[in-house]
Structure 1
Amino acid sequence: MDSIFKANEIFQGDELQIIWAFDIQKMTRILDQLGSSPYFVSSEFGALKHVHLEKCPRLESIFPGHVELSSLETLSVLNCGNLRSIFYYHEVQDENQFPRLHTMQLHELPNLLHLCEKQSVPLQMKEWKKLHFRGCWNLQWLPLLVEARSEKVEVDGEMRQCEKLRARMPDDQISCYYFKSPPPLASFREHVKNKIFLKY
């Protein structure tokens, strides 16, 4: 199975609330709408609240940028080594596209380049509170956010990667994010030390 939903099939999932996919070896994306296939209507996933994808080694991207995810609250993507983009193909046009998204968890995604492939409009994302990532060494940038937020987004990741993301961030975006200092073990790959303990 290379995708879960096909654009050229009748889709009646406007009440779908959860997508949970585990160990789907051949899936490359959630929605198949490349080539000559017609696009999904943007509101067809308006009820979707939770997305969890794990151990899908060929997954390249998840949602096209125009799909309306007005109810999405949590997004977890774990151990999908080929993933390059969360929202792809289309530029995000609506600044209030993700009004309820509050938590993102991204683990062991070594090829992930960006959360939004193209972005010309800063996003509101007023409920977004946490971004937790590990092993996303190629992540290039974080989404642009509308300033004057009541609460900063807490970014929890390896120290070296957080420093890189912060350095690439426009000055007007630094106040939107809070880079949390990770526990020492979170960056163990950066400072591996071999120790031998002898007990007598």
Structure 2
Amino acid sequence: MARSIWTRGRIVDSWDDQSFAKLRAIHLHLCPRLQFVLPLAWNLSSLETLHIVRCGDLRQVFPVEAVIQNVIATRYPNGMLVFPRQKNLYLHDLSCLQQICEAKMFAPQLENVRLRGCWGLRRLPATDPDRRDGRRVAVDCVKDWWDNLQWDGLDVGHHPSLFAPRHPAYYKKRLLRTTVLR
């Protein structure tokens, strides 16, 4: 029956560095009425894994309050909110999902992305184009969804060349709908 995990926003009028600062993983399964998870009024610098499955009404994972939008625009480069330890992103059967975060996301440590049934999602988090290990982010997704993504460019770490898409084995090219017997 829950519509969110936390709705109150900030308790004080400044950026809160303590609440949720040690949160390392969010796992949500079968929360059909959930509309968002947590409004971004806190520092989520330790978040490593975001795993959400079958939350049909989820539209955004992290909505951003107006005050925090201004902080993001002034504090962070390129107006992107930094998730410094984000490594894994697993989203399945989220038919209403439009955005992970209302602000653009930058996840320099991102390693794995698995997406299924998130047809309204159009953006992945940006990543570091100058990774030390030289590996690209592994993205397991459907090809039709991958082809519809929006990109900001290589200079901000948001370009398809920084990702290694892997499509399901059952995916096949579309066949002609005409007959060859004539």
TM-score (structure 1 length as normaliser): 0.68
Q: Say if 2:63 is the partner of 1:88.
A: yes
Query: What is the match of residue 107 of structure 1?
Result: 92
Matched letter for residue 144 of structure 2: R
> How does 1:34-73 map onto structure 2 within 5 Å?
38=11, 41-73=16-48
Residues 103-112 or 142-151, more deviating: 142-151
CA distance in 1, matches of 2:91, 2:40: 18
Distance 1:66 1:148 in 2: 29
Q: Percent identity?
A: 29
Cα distance, 1:51 vs. partner?
A: 1.0
State how far apart, in whole Å, the 1-side matches of 2:137 and 2:98 are.
19
**What do the CA deviations read for 1:136-189 (whole angstroms, capped 9, x no partner)?**
011122234454334332221111001111xx212322156314231233x58x
Q: What is the deviation of 1:97?
A: 3.5
What's the RMSD between the two structures over aligned residues? 2.8
Structure 1 spans left out of the alignment, 5+ residues:
1-25, 192-200
- Please list every run of 5 or more consecutive structure 2 residues that lacks an aligned counterpart in the other structure: 175-182
Match of 1:142, SS state, is coil
C-alpha distance in structure 2 between counterparts of 1:117 and 1:58, whole Å: 19
Q: Assess, with a 3 A threshold, how the Cα gap between structure 1 residues 62 and 41 changes in structure 2: closer, same or farther.
A: same
Alpha-carbon offset, residue 127 of structure 1: 1.5
The aligned counterpart of 2:6 is 31
Aligned residue pairs, count? 158
Q: CA deviation at 1:133?
A: 0.6
Relative CO higher for 1 or 2, CA cutoff 8 Å, sep ≥ 6?
Answer: 2
Provide the secondary structure at the position in 2 that maps to 1:63: coil
The correspondence for 2:102, drawn from 86, 110, 117, is: 117
Provide Cα deviations, 1:58-115, integer angstroms capped at 9, x if missing partner: 1111122232112111110000000011111333724574211100100000110011
- Secondary structure of the corresponding residue to residue 37 of structure 2: strand
Indicate yes or no: 2:135 matched with 1:160: no
Q: Structure 2: which amino acid aligns with 1:104?
A: L
* 4+ residue segments displaced more than 6 Å: none
Contact 2:140 2:168 in 1 (8 A): no
Which residue is equivalent to 1:140? 122
Going from structure 1 to structure 2, the CA distance change for 1:142 and 1:182 (only over 3 Å counts) comes to: same
Q: TM-score, normalised by structure 2?
A: 0.74
